[in-house]
Amino acid sequence: MSATDTRLEDLLRELAPQVLGALVRRYGHFDVAEDAVQEALLAAATQWSESGAPSEPRSWLIKVASRKMIDLLRSEQSRRQREETFVRRTPDDQLQIGSAEENCAEESRAEEDDSLLLLFLCCHPALSATSQVALTLRAVGGLTTPEIAGALLVPEATLGQRISRAKQQIKRSGVGFRSPPESERGDRVAVVLRVLYLIFNEGYTSSAGDNLVRLDLSAEAIRLARLLRGLVPDDGEVAGLLALMLLTDARRPARVGPGGRLVPLAEQDRTLWDSPAIAEGTALVTEAMSGAPLGPYQLQAAIAAVHAEAERDEDTDWKQILGLYELLRRLDDSPMVELNRAVAAAMVHGPEAGLALLERLDDDPRINRSHRLEAVRAHLLERSGDAAGAVACYRAAALRTANRAEQRYLDDRAALLAATGSPGGADL
Binding flag, residue 59, another protein (CB under 8 A): no
Stretch that binds another protein, among 86-94, 264-272, 371-379, 395-403 (CB under 8 A): 86-94
Binding of residue 168 to another protein (CB under 8 A): no
Q: Which of 14, 35, 61, 401 is nearest to 224 (CA)?
A: 14
Q: Which are the contacts of 14, defined by CB distance < 8 A and separation ≥ 6?
A: 142
Q: How far apart are CA 107 and CA 263, in angstroms?
A: 52
Contacts 24+ apart (CB under 8 A), 359-367: 361/335, 364/335, 364/338, 366/334, 366/335, 367/335, 367/336, 367/339
* Beta-bridge partners for 209: 403
Region near another protein per CB under 8 A, out of 11-19, 23-31, 246-254, 407-415: 23-31
Subset of residues 31 to 50 that bind another protein, contact rule: CB under 8 A? none
Q: Binding of another protein at residue 178 (CB under 8 A)?
A: no
Amino acid residing at 349: H
Q: With binding defined as CB under 8 A, does residue 95 bind another protein?
A: no
239 contacts 282 by C-beta, under 8 angstroms: no
Phi, psi of 403 (to 5 degrees): -85, 120
Stretch that binds another protein, among 21-29, 96-104, 270-278, 300-308 (CB under 8 A): 21-29
Would you say 72 or 387 has its CB closer to another protein?
72
List the one residue from 83, 182, 210, 314 that touches another protein (CB under 8 A): 83
Q: Is residue 78 involved in binding another protein (CB under 8 A)?
A: yes
Cα Rg of the chain (Å, integer): 25
> Which listed range, 69-77, 126-134, 263-271, 380-388, lies at the site for another protein (CB under 8 A)?
69-77
Least distance (Å) between residue 260 CB and another protein: 52
Alpha carbons 416 and 420: distance in angstroms, whole number = 6
CA of 245: how far to CAs of 5, 88, 188, 370, in Å? 27, 38, 20, 24
In 10 A of CB 78, how many CB atoms? 7
- Residues in 193-222 that interact with another protein by CB under 8 A: none
70 binds another protein (CB under 8 A): yes
Q: Torsions phi, psi of 262, nearest 5? A: -80, 130
Least Cβ distance, residue 33 to another protein (angstroms) = 10
* Segment near another protein (CB under 8 A); pick from 67-75, 190-198, 271-279, 327-335: 67-75
Task: For residue 80, give the amino acid letter.
Answer: R
1 near another protein, judged by CB under 8 A: no
Q: Which of 14, 27, 272, 334 binds another protein (CB under 8 A)?
A: 27
Instruction: Name the residue nearer to another protein (CB basis): 29 or 226.
Output: 29
Total residues interacting with another protein, rule: CB under 8 A: 16
172 binds another protein (CB under 8 A): no
Residue among 79, 89, 312, 369 that touches another protein (CB under 8 A): 89
Q: What's the min distance (Å) between Cβ of 85 and another protein? A: 4
The residue (of 36 and 357) whose beta carbon lies closer to another protein is 36
* DSSP labels, 1-65: --HHHHHHHHHHHHHHHHHHHHHHHHH--HHHHHHHHHHHHHHHHHHHHHH---SSHHHHHHHHH
* Enclosing H/E stretch for 372: helix 371-384
Q: Does 85 bind another protein (CB under 8 A)?
A: yes
Nearer to another protein, 72 or 254 (CB): 72
Whole-angstrom distance, CA of residue 343 vs CA of residue 354: 6
User: Are the beta carbons of 227 and 115 closer than 8 angstroms?
Assistant: yes
Among 4, 59, 77, 164, binds another protein (CB under 8 A): 77
* Nearer of residues 69 and 175 to another protein, judged by Cβ: 69
Whole-angstrom distance, CA of residue 350 vs CA of residue 376: 14
Q: Which is nearer to another protein, 76 or 333 (CB)?
A: 76
Candidate residues 73, 198, 256, 353; the one interacting with another protein per rule CB under 8 A: 73
φ/ψ bin of 292: left (φ > 0), alpha (ψ from -120 to 50), beta (otherwise):
beta
Angle among Cα 243, 245, 246 to the nearest 5 degrees reads 65
Verify binding: residue 74, another protein, rule CB under 8 A: yes
86 binds another protein (CB under 8 A): yes
- Cβ atoms of 381 and 355 within 8 Å: the answer is yes
Q: How far is the CB of 115 from another protein (least distance, A)?
A: 22
Interface residues with another protein (CB under 8 A) are 27-29, 69-70, 73-74, 77-78, 83-89
